[in-house]
Amino acid sequence: MVIDGKKIASEIVERLKAAPKTGKFFGAALVGDDPASINFLKQKEKVAKELGIEFRLHQIPASITTDELRREIARLAAPKTCGGFIVQLPLPEGINRHYALNAVPKEKDVDCLGEASLGAFYTGRGLVMPPSVGTVEEILKLEHRDLRELSVVMVGAGFLIGKPVGFWLQNRVAELTVFDVTVRDIHAKLQDADIVIAGAGHAHLFGAEHLKQGALVIDFGFNKIGEKITGDFDAAGAEERGIHYTKTPGGTGPILVAKLFENFYALNKE
C-alpha cells in the first residue's frame, strides 16, 4: 500500500490554518543555484503562501566564504519580524556547514539544525524536533504499529535523517539497527525488519524482494535514474507482498515541508 505523503501533508497544513497568525515572515537562504535546492524552496514557498506567511528567499553567491555567510545569515535572521529562518542544504564545497547553520538563532531555527537546537532536542528540552523525526512520527501514528514490539532498521546515519531519527527511535522500539550503505550483505540484514527507514541517497538500494511480508518502508531517499526521480526503495512488487511504503516523489517530501511550518508555528506561539 502506498502511503500518500501529499494527503498527510495537506492535513497538517489544514490544522495549521486554524492556528493563530503570527504576522512574521519565513526567511530562507540559498547559496548558489542548485536546481534541486531551488525546487525544494519552491515547495516551501507554496506552503507558506497557502498559510498566508510571507516567504523571503535570499540568494547568495556560491563564492561566499564561511565567515561571510555566517555574518549574512545572522543579519538576515535578525529582524524581530522574522519568525523562522532556514539555510537550504547542501551548501557549496568549502563552506563549513555547521558553522553556517549555527548562525541561525535557536528561537528561529525551524529546521532544528543548529547545535543549540539539536542539543535541546537530544536532551528532551526542545520546543521543536527535526522535521525528519516529525515525519516519521506522523507516519507511525497513522500506521498504528506498536513500536515496542517491532524491529527497525535505519539505512543511512547522516546528519539530516539517520542521526536524529535513530536517536528518537532508540528507546521506543524493540530493536534498532543503524548502518550505512557500505555495510556488507545489506539486503540480508533487511529481511527480518518490521520497519525500514531509508535516508542513504542511493537509488534503488533495496527492493520489495529483500523485505518481509507486511513491512513498512519510510523512504527519505531522493535520487535520479535518468530523468526519473526515485528513492532508495524500489517499490516493484511491494503491493503483492503487502508492504506499506512512501513513494518518491510525493512521500516523505511534502510531510517534511509541512512539519517545517509546524515548527514555525510552535516557535512563534504568543
Q: What is the pLDDT of residues 15-41, one digit of tens each?
A: 999 999 899 999 999 999 999 899 999
CATH assignment of 20-105, among 3.20.20.30, 3.40.1280.10, 3.30.1360.30, 3.40.50.10860: 3.40.50.10860
pLDDT band of residue 220 (cuts 50, 70, 90) is: very high
CATH assignment of 131-252, among 3.40.50.1100, 3.40.50.720, 3.30.360.10, 3.30.429.10: 3.40.50.720
Residue of 120, 131, 122, 186 lying closest to 154 (CA atoms) = 186
Cell numbers that stand for 92 in this block: 557549496
What are the sequence ranges of the domains in the chain? 20-105, 131-252
Task: Assess contact for 77 and 105: CB atoms under 8 A.
Answer: yes
134-158: per-residue pLDDT in tens?
999 999 999 988 899 999 999 998 9
Equal CATH topology for 20-105 and 131-252: yes
What is the per-residue pLDDT for 183? 83
**Is residue 270's pLDDT more than 80?**
no
Q: Calculate Rg over the CA atoms of the chain.
A: 19
